[in-house]
Structure 1
């Protein structure tokens, strides 16, 4: 952005930004930030804040709370709400009458952002259902479905750092938005940047609606309907440790366990993390997946004699768990391991209904383990793979339901799980309650969860995963890395180059590839026809390459007489993150021999960074 355009953008911002007057005067800090940057002549920082607008992408907006159009603040919230309302009015029949559900978590500015959002829609004549108090994210799509609302907006940044906030959007089908709505809303926002004075003092509700507690009870009724053993759960022999990770989930988790019939004395709460705290003081990152995030909960469990730890992320749409092993060490389950366990429990729940197994359906994202797919092949139920993210999973679940299936379970490896057919989005509360019931049922047979997981591997094949990332803070370098990988030329533009230019690798770690799929340019070696068009959607705005190394006949080390064994199949995905400066990779190996599965997985992981990403040569940071 040249200096003249930058100056104009700054002046437009200061012209529009105002001091809001509720619940106390605020927003002066955002004006002060920009005025200070202007007076100090910090052009570099102004360029960062004004050269682009915060992207309306996966499920909406998410970013740091700072002044400027590139960040989350009152003005960008107002502009986003105006654009969302405009687009919905043009696209959804009867949108204003159907209305919008607005909820928020406990983060800094969440309540204010929610109030501003509700005010924009009220001013435009919409019916607004403003959920009172702190709610977990699944309450918004659930409430929107119960009320047949046209839209839902949840103010949350999920498990992001304390400096962030977000604006998560659900469409009229009560599922996260997918194309073309995301780009349509983004265009409408660009057409809705002018904000009048009245927007800063949003009107309060005038219709007397106060149905939040009724909706929460309806949600709990749905949760209770998922239980298989409510009558016997009261005799649970286990003690569970729970942490909501300084978030909003604890009241919902406790009520869910009540709905399942579990006594409160079977739950021990990590007091230091029990109350909502937007600063997340006891963890570096409020994400149960991050190293060290569960340390406090594990120590608490050791003190009170609990053998299972349960954790939700701050907005309680994700779930994580750990189990104490016989040797006293803790096993923290990965998202894929939890997916296998909860998937097996979904099969059991479906069997209890007496419905044909052919009517059962499950989904998993393409970067998740193929364990569910293996279960589906053996048991005979339907399985669908989707792109990464619950916006894709949720819409696939809806398609399955429309086709007459019962989609009881879906997950992605980033500890997101959908259970039941009511909410087609990840829900950490239903996952927690079902996990507790499964652990309790297994304990009656003296079977720990880890042992049950081993039995699933025996039944459906051993699957081992290795997921991580490299940090690349220069987007241009990331583009060059992927262009080199797919075209053999770092200067080829992946966003426009045709598939005919692809020169994708044919091997990795010395093993020939049996499949290679590029979901950026649009190529799938396994697809029929000369175009090799992939079944999954193509996204030119993100990098994603998938591959498989086939099951091969390899000589077993030390085998007498050159004895042969079945080989190990490895599947993988390397992609960019939509919200962080990361090149992520997801690897899975499966086979009969666990030792060889792990060995080949390590070999391929090392080769991926060395051969394909050239991590050292490109100066990529490791976590």
Structure 2
């Protein structure tokens, strides 16, 4: 069936007074967007299924949610009666339609005879991951589009270990989804039947309390917090899910001077006080900084709408604030953890940190300085969770810390996804440790630079929207493979890695890469710098990552600017 025929089916199938029908009528005035909405279905990427909300098979709406849940249900049912009874747990964030989508997912699952747990109000992604493990369910669903703009929503699937489904399982869900292309006719129980069903249970505070009990173990040295309990913080959830539990985390840890951004405390799908609800964006700290300056706060902290990502800014001696990058925060947290474990004699030859292949190398140098392995995995926190699961299965490693440059960190494996609450608690403790010595988090970073050299990174995101944009991204990646880069700004390419062909090509040899296939190209230059190209699995963007080392910040930023100029010209 052509996409134009699909449009006709949707026009006939949608209720005349429904919001989706009205949106479809409006969408017909934009032929390119209409084609994009109906020409191909949403797929599972590095972080599940994510897309613009609206009518169409390539949009997030109740019908694509039903179809995805039908696919997940078939995977659970094939695992047998035990999985069916173990069930699925569902949570959702503050975005428009998130609660509605969660209910529709529940209706499909119960309609398939699968026990279903759903939170009675919004909860963070890491708490959903924890709930899968705590309730021992067969799977989990998180309705969220993470840090994306307000027009987006998404659907993450979790396996029984609490990690996002790895590719092989996500493929099974996708195949089952596509077996029901008639997504308008996929039905579950009614809302009334759902609420009366013995298979459906709303959950609330019980799982929260169990999570908070575990998160207390993230603290390395409670006495440091006790001595520095008056250290001043400002926290904002950016209108998302973090406020309720983060308040408890700060209070139970012993921090007494935490200020909250009143204008951003409450859930708001419009994200009305920020351009983007993304802690990677320095502008997300504007409101927090106003309060920080007023109360002379030492650290500003923000989490994204589903509270899996955390960003921070530290107060400098002149009263201004310096935002830290995800790579910088990761290196600071890892150094603190390893220093503490070394002092306690808790490091072993199996201790292992994990990061994504596009994350910076400062943390790698930190790990190696303690004799600890840094393992690289593909982008997507599910691959970090996969490694933790592997360690548990064959005792090949002891997980100490995992992170991605995109502001995602995991300290303790009772959660199997990035966790802004864990990361916030540990970063607050590091700030307290530094304050006790008359120093700040900025000083901790400068100490790392003194030990390992100045490191700087930058990520460029080139937007390629619509069907034509997808084709353009494919064309760019093909060109880079057909005619590989050989030098940049006078630096020669020493090696390149193609994660689609699983090959590392050096000047004298070609070696295999033992990671799953992924559309990523990474170049290593002979001056120690690196860059990587990766089409986003969840957004219409081609991401280019750069990492440099230099003697000082000025030279590092000069190199970054030089590479950026060349890359923008290359991808224009």
| Deviation, structure 1 residue 87 | 2.2
Partners of 1:279 and 1:319 in 2: CA distance = 20
Partners of 1:81 and 1:198 in 2: CA distance = 10
**What's 1:579 paired with?**
538
Partners of 1:247 and 1:523 in 2: CA distance = 41
Partners of 1:444 and 1:44 in 2: CA distance = 58
More helix by share: 2
The one of the two structures with greater contact order (alpha-carbon pairs below 8 A, sep at least 6) is 2
Of stretches 471-480 and 204-213 in structure 1, the one that deviates more from structure 2 is 204-213
**What's 1:49 paired with?**
37
Give the aligned length.
563
Of stretches 197-206 and 216-225 in structure 1, the one that deviates more from structure 2 is 197-206
Partners of 2:459 and 2:552 in 1: CA distance = 21
**What's 1:534 paired with?**
513
**What's 2:236 paired with?**
243
1:80/1:581 Cα in 2 relative to 1: closer, same or farther (>3 Å)?
closer
Partners of 1:527 and 1:88 in 2: CA distance = 48
**What's 1:22 paired with?**
none
Contact 2:47–2:538, Cα closer than 8 Å, also in 1: no
Kindly provide the CA deviation profile for residues 430-473 of structure 1, in whole angstroms up to 9, marking residues without a partner as x: 11111111101210110111111111222333322222233344
**What's 1:566 paired with?**
none
Kindly provide the CA deviation profile for residues 209-263 of structure 1, in whole angstroms up to 9, marking residues without a partner as x: 4553111001000111121233452442311111111111011111111221222
SS of the residue corresponding to residue 167 of structure 2 reads: coil
Q: TM-score, normalised by structure 2?
A: 0.92
**What's 2:524 paired with?**
548
Matched, 1:287 2:278: yes
1:175-194 alignment runs, 5 A limit: 175-194=163-182
**What's 1:30 paired with?**
20
Partners of 2:121 and 2:267 in 1: CA distance = 12
| Deviation, structure 1 residue 573 | 0.9
Contact 2:327–2:363, Cα closer than 8 Å, also in 1: no
Matched, 1:519 2:484: no
Kindly provide the CA deviation profile for residues 32-63 of structure 1, in whole angstroms up to 9, marking residues without a partner as x: 3335667x7x6555433221112233332211
Contact 1:37–1:45, Cα closer than 8 Å, also in 2: yes
1:480/1:371 Cα in 2 relative to 1: closer, same or farther (>3 Å)?
same
**Of the candidates 339, 352, 357, which is equivalent to residue 366 of structure 1?**
357
**What's 1:316 paired with?**
307
**What's 1:8 paired with?**
5
**Of the candidates 260, 263, 267, which is equivalent to residue 276 of structure 1?**
267
| Deviation, structure 1 residue 594 | 5.3
Of stretches 442-451 and 376-385 in structure 1, the one that deviates more from structure 2 is 376-385
**What's 1:464 paired with?**
456
Contact 1:98–1:127, Cα closer than 8 Å, also in 2: yes
Cα-Cα RMSD: 2.4
**What's 1:215 paired with?**
207
Contact 2:107–2:188, Cα closer than 8 Å, also in 1: no
Kindly provide the CA deviation profile for residues 12-42 of structure 1, in whole angstroms up to 9, marking residues without a partner as x: 43565469xxxxxxx811133335667x7x6
SS of the residue corresponding to residue 49 of structure 2 reads: strand
| Deviation, structure 1 residue 374 | 1.0
SS of the residue corresponding to residue 222 of structure 2 reads: coil
**What's 2:218 paired with?**
226
**Of the candidates 362, 387, 397, which is equivalent to residue 378 of structure 2?**
387
**What's 2:249 paired with?**
256
SS of the residue corresponding to residue 21 of structure 2 reads: helix
Matched, 1:101 2:89: yes
| Deviation, structure 1 residue 408 | 2.2
SS of the residue corresponding to residue 84 of structure 1 reads: helix
Contact 2:458–2:546, Cα closer than 8 Å, also in 1: yes
1:453/1:149 Cα in 2 relative to 1: closer, same or farther (>3 Å)?
same
Contact 1:361–1:400, Cα closer than 8 Å, also in 2: no
| Deviation, structure 1 residue 509 | 1.5
1:349-364 alignment runs, 5 A limit: 349-351=340-342, 354-364=345-355
| Deviation, structure 1 residue 291 | 4.0
Contact 1:335–1:415, Cα closer than 8 Å, also in 2: yes
Partners of 1:215 and 1:424 in 2: CA distance = 16
Q: TM-score, normalised by structure 1?
A: 0.85
SS of the residue corresponding to residue 332 of structure 1 reads: strand
**Of the candidates 332, 341, 345, which is equivalent to residue 336 of structure 2?**
345
Contact 1:378–1:460, Cα closer than 8 Å, also in 2: no
Contact 1:116–1:199, Cα closer than 8 Å, also in 2: no
Contact 2:49–2:538, Cα closer than 8 Å, also in 1: no
Partners of 2:83 and 2:12 in 1: CA distance = 31
Unpaired runs of 5+ in structure 1? 20-26, 489-503, 552-568
SS of the residue corresponding to residue 534 of structure 2 reads: strand
**What's 2:442 paired with?**
450
1:277/1:290 Cα in 2 relative to 1: closer, same or farther (>3 Å)?
same
